[in-house]
Structure formats: structure tokens, C-alpha cells
Amino acid sequence: MAPPPSYSVAPDDRERSHILSWGALGGIVVLAIGALVLVFPRSDLLTLLRGQGNQSDQGNRDLTVAYLRNIIRTEPKDLSLRLLLVEKLLAGGELKEARQTLDTALALARSTTAGLADWNHWDLVWWQAQLGQAVDGGKDADIRQAATELLSRLKQSAESASTPAQVFTSINAANAVAAILGSVQGNGQATLVQSIQTMQDALLARLLGLPSATAQELARGATLALSAGRLPLASDLFFAARRKTTAPEACLQVL
């Protein structure tokens, strides 16, 4: 009686057994993508994909990216699909691919004001990730380049802030960058941190001049100014918050 065949799983064994060929695996991926398209309406599936957040399962992320790449081929003018792909690529740490996707989507984004705003958001997120990667690499030149590019984009975002929510979003983004730079020892980092502080001061001053700013928002701005040691600006914001309401209870909340 012939002995049963032996199976090898050693990665360096050229004669090791393959349960499925690469072609078969590729076919399974295509079938899975096709099944997703058939089972879920496009709008429902995209909602599902957006709701997945940062997927921890590499297989699920790869399938999502493959699906998005394929549907983009059929709908090349859908900016939301391209930006969703950028989000998924960034979640997987694929910065090079995310940058390429952003660059190819720029012309499409420029066709509408809203589209360009969405593109600018993900461009900013990409540079934040790039700065984090540069810090991990530990090279001062890479850190300065990424921080300078990111700061330039933060300034553009700050200049267009016209609501209290946008002001605080810009301040929070700037705080995150300052925290990263503050943890790094290197030449030029202190200058960048000072530039960020100057930008934050300008944002808080803009908040002071926004008619739509509520007492609570002005008080929040005053707290931020106070924590940064900007006492005159903090005082102006606190008094502006007090003037927004005459209710005793609200005045006490501002104090």
C-alpha cells in the first residue's frame, strides 16, 4: 500500500503544497465583491463602509479597498468614493496610496466649493499622518518638512473659518500638531510651535468678532486663551461672554 502524500507548509520550500492558486484566490475576491454589489444597494453599502471606521481586520480592509477601487472605475466622477478610499487607505497606514488617490481627485474636487472643502480636509488629515510617520522615523529634516506643510494647510483652514465650530476645529488641529512637535527634540521645532500659537491667538480673536458666537463658545475660547497665558485676550473673551446674556444663571456659568 502506497504511503499517503506528505504536505509541506514551509515558506522556503518551493515544492510546498498550495490549497488554492493565486488565480483562484483572486477569483474568490472578485466573487466576494460581486456578491456585495448584488446583496447591497450601492448607497446602503457605502453607508456600511463609512460606518466601519478604522477596521482592525486587515482582510476586511483589503476587501473594502478592492470594492472601492472597482466601483470608482465605473463611477470615476464620484468624489465621495475617492475620498472614502483615502480614508480607508489612511486607516491602513497606506500613506503613499492615499496620497496618489488624493492627487488624482484634486481636479474633480475643484469643480465645486463643497468638494474642494472635503478634499482639503483629507489633505490635512494626510499631512497629520505624514507628520506622525516622520516623528516615528526620527529625522529632523522630515519632521520639519511635514510640520511646515501641515502648518501651511492649517493656516489656510484657519483663514476660512467663519463659524465658532470651524474656529474650534482649527484650534484643536493646531493643538494636536503642537503636542506632537513639543514631544520632539530638534532644531526648528520651537519656531513652528510659536507659529502655531500665533495662529491660535488669531483664531480666538476672530471668535471674539463673530456675531454668531454664543456665551458658552466665548467662555470656552476664554478658557483656551487663559490656559495659553494670553490674559488680555482671555479677559476680552470672558467679558464678551458676559455681555451675551443678562440671565444670572448664565452669567454664573460663564464665570
What pLDDT is stored for residue 23 in this prediction? Answer: 64
Has residue 40 been placed in a domain?
Answer: yes
- Total domain count for the chain? 1
Averaged pLDDT, 137-156:
88
Has residue 69 been placed in a domain?
Answer: yes
Q: Which residues of 33-58 are buried (b: 16+ CB within 10 A; e: fewer)?
A: beebeeeeeeeebbeebeeeeebeee
What pLDDT is stored for residue 245 in this prediction? Answer: 74
What pLDDT is stored for residue 248 in this prediction? Answer: 53
Has residue 222 been placed in a domain?
Answer: no
Question: Residues 241, 242, 246, CA angle at the centre, nearest 5°?
Answer: 125
Averaged pLDDT, 151-179:
89
Has residue 54 been placed in a domain?
Answer: yes
**Is the per-residue pLDDT at 221 higher than 80?**
yes
Has residue 4 been placed in a domain?
Answer: no
Averaged pLDDT, 36-51:
57
Question: Residues 159, 163, 166, CA angle at the centre, nearest 5°?
Answer: 65
Has residue 133 been placed in a domain?
Answer: no
What pLDDT is stored for residue 84 in this prediction? Answer: 93
Averaged pLDDT, 10-29:
58
Has residue 241 been placed in a domain?
Answer: no
**CA–CA separation, 148 and 191 (whole Å):** 10
What pLDDT is stored for residue 13 in this prediction? Answer: 54
**Is the per-residue pLDDT at 167 higher than 90?**
yes
Has residue 45 been placed in a domain?
Answer: yes
Poorest-pLDDT segment among 33-47, 69-83, 205-219, 221-235: 33-47
Report the mean per-residue pLDDT for the chain. Answer: 81
Question: pLDDT band at residue 114, thresholds of 50, 70 and 90?
Answer: very high
Provide the domain limits for residue 103.
25-111
Question: pLDDT band at residue 184, thresholds of 50, 70 and 90?
Answer: confident
Averaged pLDDT, 221-236:
93
User: Which has the closest alpha carbon to 239: 169, 227, 172, 225?
Assistant: 225
